[in-house]
Amino acid sequence: MKRSLTLALSLGVILLGAAHAQTPVRGGILKAAWTQEPANLDPHVTSAYSSFQILENVLDTLVTVDAKGKIIPSLATAWKASADGKTWTFTLRQGVKFSNGRALSAADVAYCLNRLRDPKTGSGNAYHLSGVTAVTAPSANTVVLTLSKARTNILGDLTSKATGIFAKEGVADKSVATRPVGTGPFKITSYQPGVGVKLARNTNYWQAGLPYLDGVDIRVVPDEGVRRSSLVSGDVDWVMAVPPQDIPTLKTNAALKVDSIPAFSYWYIGVNTKHKPFDQKPVRQAMAEVINRDQIVQGAIFGQGVANQSPIPAVNEFGQTYAPYTGSLEKAKALLGKGGAVAGFETSIMVTGQYPESVRIAQILQAQLAPLGIKANIRTLEWAQWLEEEGKGNYDLYVLSWNAMIDPDEYYYAQQRTGEGFNFTGYSNPAVDKLLDTARVATSDAQRKPLYTQINKLVVDDAPYIYLYNPSNVNAYSTKVHGYAARADQAIKFVNTWLSK
């Protein structure tokens, strides 16, 4: 009886302790390691993943997505489309303030969205508002978007941080590039290129009691080995990405948690369709045919992903499984001959040390393309130069990922539609353009799914992009970090995060 009472008391203490451990603690600075530094923090200028992941904690959008990818209210508490789908009316949340204490109004929202779509801004992110002909603020709490055509996916585009709302005075004094003022849970207090960004709690944040942290110290740590050792030593509490080869070891460390989830993103080879011999579809198809994607998943990311010949992963409701390429060397040789390159050729693959997996992928591709007579030289550039060369079309092949998609339109339109800002391969197929435009105005998933199946098949067959795999999103952090979870959309949100003492 005494032993039972002692056991019961002990269990009670343990359970009480466990319950206590789940009670959020306010205060503390989270030390976080980013993989690359933000190129710019103006959401209309930057296209860098690292910038948007910081802005995720600073700017709010009209609508946002939950951890499962469902669109939910943010600055807008309600919205309604007109019967013809061309007018969208949003009702703003009452009492929201910017982190500088100024009240948010519908005029601020209209200003930001109109600046994004203004050709004078020259934003590559303007495609999120393509078809929008006007953004107005008929009252202090009402925003109206007018479209030239109905577009079902407009809500998905309005979840992008490119449509994040910031105080317009930051444009006049040019501070928007380094310190945009938003309504999110944190505000930027310091931005030092090459060093990092410091965030502090926004005391005007509209969600009562949040965030728990006093701030976040974001450090730029490009070297994946240094990120790992910094986490293990306790120099940082959280890392954006850990080296995939180190994941098994990190999982055995009782002081750490490795948090992994299949991501909505994909890795691919961009093929310059303006350069010979890649202007010939059979040549592109020959490369797509001979590549062994499973080898790349194992060799480049140590199994932390799923090989795929299409961009949309199975975890997305629009997931595509079309996989026409079989790995046949003989078939690849025949295609190469059909494309007028039977003897093979010499080319280059542009990669960046900013993403070490891109270098490993290129090394594997070198070996896989060699039996076709293709000598692929690896061209490694600094990230800023890499982006410049991509923009100018100064490459044959490159390796990179496309991140953070929700709607199927985001997997294709910006990269595949003729003339769009992110169509760096120069791809153009009128049939794809027509289908993309049709899918944008389709009003139900039942209508949209067969359209995206057709789009995917045409793009995979044309091979301006050779899809490789869908990765897992892996974050690792100290067991002192609570209230954080890796997300399929790769958004990094510290609003509910807290540190135990």
Question: In this predicted model, what pLDDT tens digit does every residue of 342-363 receive, in sequence order?
Answer: 999 999 999 998 888 999 999 9
Question: What average pLDDT does this structure show over 225-231?
Answer: 93
Distance CA 446, CA 187 (A): 42
Residue 365 belongs to domain spanning: 265-472
Kindly state whether residue 13 falls inside one of the protein's structural domains.
Answer: no
Mark whether 145 and 194 lie in a shared domain.
yes
Q: Are residues 51 and 72 in the same domain?
A: yes
8 inside domain:
no
Task: Give the chain's domain count.
Answer: 2
Give pLDDT, residue 19.
42
Straight-line distance from the first to the last Cα atom of the chain, in angstroms, rounded to the nearest whole number = 37
What is the Rg, in whole angstroms, of the alpha carbon atoms belonging to the chain? 24
Is 120 in the same domain as 177? Answer: yes
- Strand 29-34 relative to strand 215-220: parallel, antiparallel, unpaired? parallel
Q: What is the pLDDT of residues 41-52, one digit of tens each?
A: 999 998 777 899
**Confidence at 9, pLDDT banded by 50, 70, 90:** very low
pLDDT, residue 124, reads 83
CA distances (Å), origin 480, targets 58, 179, 217, 228, 260: 23, 29, 16, 17, 18
Question: With bands split at pLDDT 50, 70 and 90, how would you rate the model's confidence at 404?
Answer: low
Tokens (6 digits) for 429: 């197929």
Q: Are 398 and 349 in contact (CB under 8 A)?
A: yes
H or E segment and range at residue 441: helix 430-441
- Identify whether residues 303 and 197 lie together within a single domain: no
168 located within any domain? yes
What is the spatial distance between Cα 376 and Cα 374, in angstroms, rounded to a whole number?
Answer: 6
Give the sign of the dihedral formed by CA 25, CA 31, CA 34, CA 37: positive
Q: What does the pLDDT look like over 301-315, one tens digit per residue?
A: 999 999 999 999 988
Q: Are 320 and 448 in contact (CB under 8 A)?
A: no
Report yes or no on 400 lying in a domain.
Answer: yes
Domain assignment present for residue 187? The answer is yes
Joined tokens for residue 22 = 């789940």
Q: Would the pLDDT of 327 be above 50?
A: yes
Positive or negative: CA dihedral 414, 416, 420, 426:
positive
Classify residue 115: in a domain, yes or no.
yes
Q: Which long-range contacts (CB under 8 A, 24 or more apart) does 196-203 make?
A: 196/34, 196/37, 196/220, 197/38, 197/41, 197/54, 199/54, 199/57, 199/58, 199/494, 202/99, 203/99
Question: What's the sign of the alpha-carbon dihedral 267, 65, 424, 449?
Answer: positive
**230 is a domain residue:** no
**pTM across the whole model:** 0.82
Report the share of the chain in percent with pLDDT over 70. 96
Q: Is there a domain that residue 183 lies in? A: yes
- Return the structure tokens found at 66: 């939950």
Confidence of residue 11 (pLDDT cuts 50, 70, 90): very low
| Alpha-carbon span 351 to 397, nearest angstrom | 9
Do residue 415 and residue 486 come from a single domain?
Answer: no
Are 271 and 135 contained in the same domain? no
Same domain for 483 and 464?
A: no
Angstrom distance (rounded) from CA 217 to CA 239: 12
- Specify the residue for token string 């009480």: 16
Average pLDDT over residues 150-178: 92
Closest C-alpha to 51, from 116, 113, 118, 125: 125
Cα–Cα distance list, 79 to 149, 296, 390 (Å): 18, 44, 38
- Contact (CB, 8 A) for 183 and 97: yes
Question: Within this chain, do residues 80 and 154 fall inside the same structural domain, yes or no?
Answer: yes
User: Rounded mean pLDDT of 165-185?
Assistant: 96
Cα dihedral 433, 434, 437, 443 in deg (nearest 10): -140
Instruction: Return the residue matching tokens 């039942």.
Output: 446
Tell me: do 370 and 484 sit in the same domain. no
Residue 189 shares a structural domain with residue 314: no
29-34 and 238-239 strand pairing: parallel
Q: Is the pLDDT of residue 17 over 60?
A: no
Residue % of the chain over a pLDDT of 90:
78
Mean confidence (pLDDT) of the chain: 92
Please report the pLDDT score of residue 276 as a whole number.
Answer: 96
CATH at residue 192: 3.40.190.10
- The better pLDDT of the pair 91, 246 is held by 91
134 and 57, same structural domain? Answer: yes
What is the CATH classification number for the domain harbouring 440?
3.10.105.10
Burial of 380 (0-12, 13-18, 19+ CB in 10 A): middle
CA–CA gap between residue 107 and residue 341 (Å, rounded): 58
Task: Report phi then psi at 482, rounded to 5.
Answer: -130, 160
pLDDT at 1 over 50: no
pLDDT of 5 reads 37
Q: Cα(413)–Cα(420) distance, rounded to whole angstroms?
A: 8
Q: Are residues 99 and 127 in the same domain?
A: yes
At 118, is the pLDDT very low, low, confident or very high (cuts 50, 70, 90)? very high
If one compares 295 and 194, the residue with the highest pLDDT of the two is 295
